Amino acid sequence: MTRISIALFNFENGGLRDGHHYLKPLVDAFREVTTPPALILLCEAKQWQANGNQPLHQAAELLADRFATPYVGVLGHDPRGPMPPAILYDPTLLTLRSWYDPADRNAFDDKRNVAHFAVRSSGEHPDSRTEFLAFVAHWDVHCGIRRRQQAALLDRYGDAPLPVIGGGDLNATASGPHLPQRDWTIANYRARRQKGQRMPDGTWVADTDAVDHLVGRWNPHARTRTDGCGFHSVAELAWQADPAAALLPTVNDDVDAGGGLLIDWLLVNSAMLAHVIPHTYRVHVPLCRPYPSDHRLVTADLHFDTLNTPSSP
């Protein structure tokens, strides 16, 4: 059995401050992590394309030193500006089979920022190795309508035959009282409009439409989700395995007035469910200030057989 550790982290501004990249906080975010991640899904790689992708390669080198593990990094695409997502992966465990270059004008929007991996230990030959897809997403912070459109680009992967894991700062939570809640009366109007929606009676609630489109809407009577496009939240898989363990916000204290929400999501499709180890899900709360980022590191593990099995078509 091969264990593949996944890490998700929104690194605030990619460490860019005063025109320079300070990447030590990226390493600090992994201070309490003992298992080297095989795959890191990273948001806000701001201007990491500068000087021949120097910040990207420096980040890979620093993390390689931290974990004594080689890392390869590739930048993704963000149509809004030079702050794309990125992935960093361990090439001794994973082989990257496809990833659209951000400059490729022929790439379809629903194929961007989606990696196709093979698990190296799952077969002796390329055509016998287990494959999976991994996406990284950073949804719009300003508008729920745009987030719903971004969710639509990913919904096709919910019932894909290949196992799929994806993650990102989706800037939205999902429905359900078991998730962290926010006091919208404390948030200012702009913050409410960004992540909330006003009900007919004038009260404000979280805007959950985009994430619910992927995972389904919470049914309080059945205590499960209905509809949705086939994705499952790794956080909820962990909660279902241990309901006494409260789900934590993925943003740090004092970032969002009224309380933080769970907005950094790891999602899997049904084909990936059997590979998830639910109890490994963790939101890493920084031990001290200054925080490495305004968001918290999220980790979880997958496992794959090491037998030679035919790859999915």
pLDDT digits (tens, 9 = 90+) for 220-230: 999 999 999 99
pLDDT value of position 306: 87
**Cα-based angle 71, 78, 227 (whole degrees, multiple of 5):** 95
Average confidence (pLDDT) over 78-98: 98
Q: What is the pLDDT of residues 159-187, one digit of tens each?
A: 999 999 999 999 999 999 999 999 999 99
User: What is the sign, positive or negative, of the torsion defined by CA atoms of 9, 15, 16, 20?
Assistant: negative
113 and 101 Cβ atoms separated by less than 8 Å? no
Q: Inform me whether the pLDDT recorded for 309 exceeds 70.
A: no
pLDDT value of position 201: 94
> Which band of pLDDT confidence, cut at 50, 70 and 90, is reported for residue 155?
very high
What would the two tokens of residue 227 be? 């509809």
Question: What is the spatial distance between Cα 82 and Cα 77, in angstroms, rounded to a whole number?
Answer: 8
Mean pLDDT value across the chain:
96
CB atoms within 10 A of CB 47: 17
Domain boundaries, the chain: 2-171+224-253+261-304
Average confidence (pLDDT) over 230-254: 97
Class of domain 2-171+224-253+261-304: alpha beta
Give the global pTM: 0.96
CB atoms within 10 A of CB 97: 14
Q: Inform me whether the pLDDT recorded for 33 exceeds 50.
A: yes
